[in-house]
Structure 1
Amino acid sequence: MARWEETAREAAAPPTYLPIPNAPTLGVGMVGYAFMGAAHSQGWRTAGHVFELPMNPALTAICGRDAAAVEKAAARYGWASAETDWRALVARDDVHVVDICTPGDSHAEIAIAALDAGKHVLCEKPLANTVAEAEAMAEAAERAAARGQVAMVGFNYRRVPAIAYARKLIAEGRLGTLRHVRAAYLQDWLVDPSAPLTWRLRRERAGSGALGDLGAHIVDLAQYLAGEPLVGVSAVSRTFVTRRPLPAGPSAGLAGAADADEHGTVTVDDATLFTGRLASGALASFETTRMAAGRKNALRLEINGERGSLAFDLERLNELSFHDHTEPATTAGFRRVLVTEAQHPYLEAWWPPGHALGYEHTFVHQARDLVRTIAEGTVPAPSFADGLQVQRVLAAVEESAGKNSVHTPVAH
């Protein structure tokens, strides 16, 4: 390689930041160590090595009920210590942030206790399993904010650079008055009726099914991108497979779910579809399912306004489709915007243009934003109040779907 090419590459490469020597340490304690625990660990472990942060995150302690499993997770993910009781983790003086990556049925208890103990809190979505729990969490967050504490919800897809850039374009008025928002989140991991019953398929643990698991994301994104809340919904839902075999071995959280042939009842939705109306009068449609054969993690969004449109597909997460309707019809059309420039959100610290990011980077960006919010004393986004708004929409969708569950045959 010619020397000038080496120099050009070096100049284009982003800096690699090391922990700031004189910056205060922000001790993180995480409750939960499964899928989300692994993703959050990646975020905390990486953020300070990519972005220059005002505080140095430290992976202080990870918590789980199984002592052997949590010790293994601590070693694998880089945590300094392990706890088997979340109360002990919250009580530690070296834990300043409590990161909650547990099923929804424990979010409220842990978050409120952590906030009351003076900790900052990051809680995975959906914020809670019920509106009442979410209201109590939002009230605790409001009390804590008066003491300088931060409470944030983990809607990580806001941290996809292309989505953050779409929000900027909409806020700048590039689409004009919004008219339509379309959102779909499709997965297929439950298509096989022999797939085992897990905590995600039981209402007492998960709150709801595809609606809470996937719908929470797209409801939040619709409101985030539009910059306004949903104010009305109409829904239908369906559980296609109502009984599933219990998993082999210990089935944590499924006590009492088994019947005589070691099957259990699915008590949440497999799929939910709903329409909605935004505060401005724009119309929205949503589809969530874990039964779409061939769709692994297909989150898709399209926003139409009087001046143009934007479209996003998570399976092509470094790209944004943009149509400027003010251009002459002879040349106008959707164009592919590769969101990898240093001027795009979050990308000033990553790779040269054209070098793509992935799913795990959203958790790095989430950690970065939370650390900066804590250091600056600003209002977090999304806040627990934002999470409560999403919870209210989910509850309204469930209520509507319940009313629409009785079907009258169409006469021919």
Structure 2
Amino acid sequence: GYKRFTTNWKDVIKDPEVEIVDNCLPNHLHKEPTIEALEEGKHVVVEKPLARNSKEAREIYEAAKKAKTKSMVAFNYRFVPAVILAKKLIEEGLVGRIYHFRARYLQDWLIDPSFPLVWRLRKEYAGSGPLGDLGSHIVDLARYLIGEPKRVSGMIKTFIEERPLPEDPSKRGKVTVEDAFVAVIEFENGAIGTLEATRFATGRKNYNNFEINGEKASIEFNLERPNELRVYWHEEPVRDIEGWHEVLVTESHHPYIKYYWPPGHVIGWEHTFLNELYHFLDAVVNDKSIEPQGATIEDGYKNMVILDAILESAKTGKVIEISY
């Protein structure tokens, strides 16, 4: 077992033997511990979303700019080899001008009305529902793969407005976050896209999917098949095999694969976290940059600005221009 433990996060941050803090606390406890850890000279990894809103995220970002240590937001899907390959194809010009980006992150763990009112369903703790929990991932992938957004519009919906209290199921409490969101996005480079996340997609357990359509090719990724990247070439060299090709991203020249198994042996969801933390520790030990592979605190802040803009659009019915 552990030689020491504590239930007080301040004890961890004040401990001189602690060099790295990994903040996996609920969203309402992202700001204060992260800022204090940075001020204490710790290297910090913080879970996504960076905060409950862009105001809190900005405070963390300002603290990170002053710190002399490494910090990263835990957007682990940047570390899926197939996603990295998608980015490589885009950056090498093989996809050409990008026209569309569409992403969906679908789950179904809230379809039962008797599911209790946990912290993720309360705004004071979570900040938002699947917008922050799942949408932050696909917004990050949009920025990572396509570029900066120019404007967004959004819609949110709460399907079940009251749920049993965890401490007393005979009583009910109000759900204060959305159950689902849909957004339309325009990028600075002229591409357009759609984003969707829900916890009410019956039959979908952890369906994280994106498709990119460009002038030369299209790319599709589905987290349920994490070792594959589907690619369609507009000008297929061999016309008789024109169609979508499934590329198995498990060769030793693909990112991170050589650290695990022989070529062709698949890796899983858990490996995204190993890859992510390997990248962070390598940056700390060898004084390397977190970006562009990892998500910086600035990336986390910009992510929250976009999420807040989607919420604002949903409330006002207006298209919201993105301004950092």
TM-score after normalising by structure 1: 0.74
Match of 1:52 in 2: none
Match of 2:297 in 1: 384
Alpha-carbon distance in structure 2 between the residues aligned to 1:294 and 1:248: 29
Alpha-carbon distance in structure 2 between the residues aligned to 1:138 and 1:280: 26
Match of 1:368 in 2: 278
Match of 1:178 in 2: 98
Alpha-carbon distance in structure 1 between the residues aligned to 2:167 and 2:273: 31
Give the SS at the match of 1:315: coil
Alignment pair present for 1:316 and 2:225: yes
Match of 2:254 in 1: 344
Give the SS at the match of 1:138: helix
Q: Give the CA deviation at 1:81.
A: 2.6
Alignment of 1:107-146 (within 5 A): 107-144=30-67
More displaced 10-residue stretch of structure 1: 149-158 or 396-405? 396-405
Alignment pair present for 1:82 and 2:5: yes
Give the SS at the match of 2:289: coil
Match of 2:87 in 1: 167
Letter in 2 for 1:370: F
Letter in 1 for 2:159: F
Alignment of 1:271-282 (within 5 A): 271-282=180-191
Alpha-carbon distance in structure 1 between the residues aligned to 2:120 and 2:193: 27
Match of 1:234 in 2: 153
Equivalenced residue count is 314
Match of 1:189 in 2: 109
Alpha-carbon distance in structure 1 between the residues aligned to 2:205 and 2:82: 20
RMSD of aligned Cα (Å):
1.4
Q: Which runs of 5+ in 1 are unaligned?
A: 1-74, 250-257, 406-412
State the identity %. 46
Q: Give the CA deviation at 1:288.
A: 0.4
Match of 1:101 in 2: 24
Give the SS at the match of 1:94: coil
Alpha-carbon distance in structure 2 between the residues aligned to 1:80 and 1:131: 38
Letter in 2 for 1:404: G
Alpha-carbon distance in structure 1 between the residues aligned to 2:3 and 2:272: 23
Q: Give the CA deviation at 1:332.
A: 2.3
More displaced 10-residue stretch of structure 1: 319-328 or 89-98? 319-328
Alpha-carbon distance in structure 2 between the residues aligned to 1:332 and 1:141: 49
Match of 1:285 among 179, 194, 216: 194
Match of 1:399 among 307, 312, 317: 312
Q: Give the CA deviation at 1:376.
A: 2.7
Match of 2:322 in 1: none
Cα-to-partner distance string for 1:71-92 (whole Å, 9 max, x where unaligned): xxxx4xxx55311211111111
Q: Give the CA deviation at 1:130.
A: 1.2
Match of 1:28 in 2: none
Q: Give the CA deviation at 1:377.
A: 2.1
Q: Give the CA deviation at 1:126.
A: 0.2
Q: Give the CA deviation at 1:304.
A: 0.8
Q: Give the CA deviation at 1:325.
A: 1.2
Give the SS at the match of 1:321: strand
Alignment of 1:299-314 (within 5 A): 299-314=208-223
Alpha-carbon distance in structure 1 between the residues aligned to 2:164 and 2:91: 48
Alpha-carbon distance in structure 2 between the residues aligned to 1:202 and 1:80: 35
